[in-house]
Amino acid sequence: MGVKGRIEKTKTRKGKKHLESRAPKLIENEKKLMLLKGHKTNAVLQECLKDLASLKRPHSILLNRKRDLLPFEDITPVEQLAAKMDASLFAIGSHSKKRPQNLVLGRMFDHHLLDMIELGVQNARALHDFKNAKVAAGTKPCLLFAGEPFKDNDTYVRLKSLLIDFFRGEQATAVRRAGFEHALSFTASQEGVHMRSYRVTTQRAGGQTPRVELEEIGPSLDLVLRRHRLASDDLFRRALKQPKELKTKKVKNISDGKLGAQMGRIHMEKQDLRKINTRKLKGLKTGRDAALAAAERKQAEEVAG
């Protein structure tokens, strides 16, 4: 189906592959990020959008054309652009006297708005402000969240989920210690959220465990929460629903331990330990014991008689 509900058909192999890539799948593609510029942006926001695109590369699209977007008043243009670009994440940068250095982060569900949070950017330092080595594009980062608001405040909890969607990268089933190169830290406080980016290096420490060092590489942002529009609980549960094919079937009498080990329960009939076949030893033979006992009883009777 197209954006306006019409059925899309194609005659070329390339067009068919394009439609198949957008079709629903059991395991969806990596979420694509669409970055937009508002009617007016300043240099700080432009660098911020570029840095966000670099962190999300190659799954990011930075559109340089300025648009008169007011997502909290009318989200329809953003939804149409997201459907056209097949992007489920978006970031909009704008600057005005009422809301200076404004950054809106949001995500879509079925090409319609799910969550949207407005942030004010302060104390921004771009990637090029840090004169050191960077990590390779597409490196999966380690996401670190600190601060009580990420547990107690509902808005911060949803913001944490949104940030995980933005920066989690490709799904991985295993982690190689030598490939752990990038860490993104988010610290929540009364002032807002402090975002920092580090390059992880390991040094020899004389033992099996290396010494880990962090080097800040940017971007560095202080984000202040402003407006937000969050999905209802019912809609959020629908967005989290998984297909039946992906749900793991529970195996009877098998459970997972706290440390990841599998434990099984076996049901057996009651055993008669006297019938268990053991090693045949002369001293343990039942017939010999019975004969000795009978001889002792006979001798005792003769003595008594």
At 184-235, the pLDDT tens digits run: 999 999 889 999 999 998 888 777 778 888 999 989 999 999 999 999 989 9
For domain 29-254, say whether CATH 3.40.190.10 is its number. Answer: no
CB-based contact 134:141 (threshold 8 Å): no
What tens digit of pLDDT does each residue of 40-78 get? Answer: 999 999 999 999 999 999 899 999 999 999 999 999 999
Give the start-to-end residue ranges of the domains of the chain: 29-254
Indicate the length of the chain as a whole number.
305
Single pTM value for the model: 0.75
CB-based contact 241:24 (threshold 8 Å): no
Tokens encoding 129: 């402000």
Task: Name the stretches of the chain with pLDDT < 70.
Answer: 1-9, 18, 21-27, 246, 279-290, 305
Provide the β-strand partners of residue 191: none
- The residue among 271, 28, 229 whose CA lies nearest residue 113 is 229
Q: Which residues, including other chains, have CB under 8 Å from residue 198's CB and lie 6 or more apart? A: 182, 183, 184, 185, 214, 215, 216, 217
